[in-house]
Amino acid sequence: MKPLMLQGHQRAITQIKYNREGDLIFSSAKDSKPCVWYSLNGERLGTFNGHIGAVWCVDVDWTTTRLITGAGDMNTFLWDVETGTALGKIPCNSSVRTCNFSFSGNQASYSTDRAMNHPCELFVIDVRNIDASISSADPVLKLTMNEQQSKITSMLWGALDETVITGHENGSLRIWDLRAVKELNSVNDHTASITDMQMSSDGTMFVSSSKDCSAKLFDSDSLMCLKTFKTERPVNSACISPLFEHVALGGGQDAMEVTTTSTQAGKFDSRFFHLVYEEEFARVKGHFGPINSMAFHPDGKSFATGGEDGFVRIQVFDSSYYEHTFE
């Protein structure tokens, strides 16, 4: 398992995403320049220049023609993937924490932080024909979070573009009906801030990771907690294999507390759990800082991790991974 090291960001990686075919990886970092890479050889294709703050989130649509990014400079940008030009820029009241295209790619959503007397808000916008006028256009929908709902830290689109699932700072998960503009359900299975949520390839369930040192598997319709994967360090990201019943978790102690510990002590490895048996069966070392984001390749034969050390690492599985069976 010789990893590819993708070197190009000056600061910590915040999120990585594969496109649908898996030939490209999009990465955002705290250095204000989201990058796109070839996943096969780790070559950098280019950067998307325009932000002036830490970029917190990135997403690419179904057809790999558009990219959405949200940053601490209080802007959401929409980009043309092919040319790297900014198609539109949406100014916000506070920094943009999450952004996602819907499955159809006709809509996108993003959420802003609670700051400077502005509440945490979730916006849904129409992205079918983007031009400069999008900066002043009204969103299709705006949801405002109240005090007890706390700030949105992670977000997913539900089935058929009808719902949005949000993960919050207080550990709650909520599902919103966009047509009726109301909260359908909420659960409080996690006890600390949700760090990441990722769908399974068929969209029937999703895995959430949290600072309460666990990742949990939920039904994406009823928000029923199906499985729990426990570790002893905060989990920053988790993803479900499209090929096997495997879940990968990445994390490590908080970046603030990583001072003089060796990589051994920090537990900055990717951990693999069996989806059904909740049993850990493998670890992959590599990063010398906490893992902030991870993603499986859509074919399930490799995975990528982005760390606080500013590297994106792509690991291709050996043949022994496919032969591994649970006794």
Q: Per-residue confidence at 293, pLDDT binned at 50, 70, 90? A: very high
Residue 132 has pLDDT above 70, yes or no: yes
Average pLDDT over residues 149-163: 94
How do the domains of the chain map onto residue ranges?
3-323
| CA–CA gap between residue 321 and residue 312 (Å, rounded) | 21
Residue 266 has pLDDT above 70, yes or no: no
Residue-wise DSSP of 66-112: EEEEEETTSEEEEEETTT--EEEEEE-SS-EEEEEE-SSSSEEEEEE
Percent helix, strand, coil in the chain, to 5, is 5, 50, 45
Question: pLDDT at position 255, please?
Answer: 63
CATH 2.130.10.10 holds for 3-323: yes
Q: Per-residue confidence at 26, pLDDT binned at 50, 70, 90? A: very high
H-assigned helices in 117-174: none
Residue 261 has pLDDT above 60, yes or no: no
Residue 66: closest CA among 112, 17, 136, 116? 17
Residue 263 has pLDDT above 60, yes or no: no
For the chain, give the percent of residues with pLDDT over 70: 96
Q: For the whole model, what pTM was predicted? A: 0.94
User: Could you report the per-residue pLDDT of 192-250, keeping only the tens digit for each?
Assistant: 999 999 999 999 999 999 999 999 999 999 999 999 999 999 999 999 999 999 999 99
Question: Per the structure block, which two tokens stand in for 322?
Answer: 């496919």
User: Could you report the per-residue pLDDT of 58-117, keeping only the tens digit for each?
Assistant: 999 999 999 999 999 999 999 999 999 999 999 999 999 999 999 999 999 999 999 989
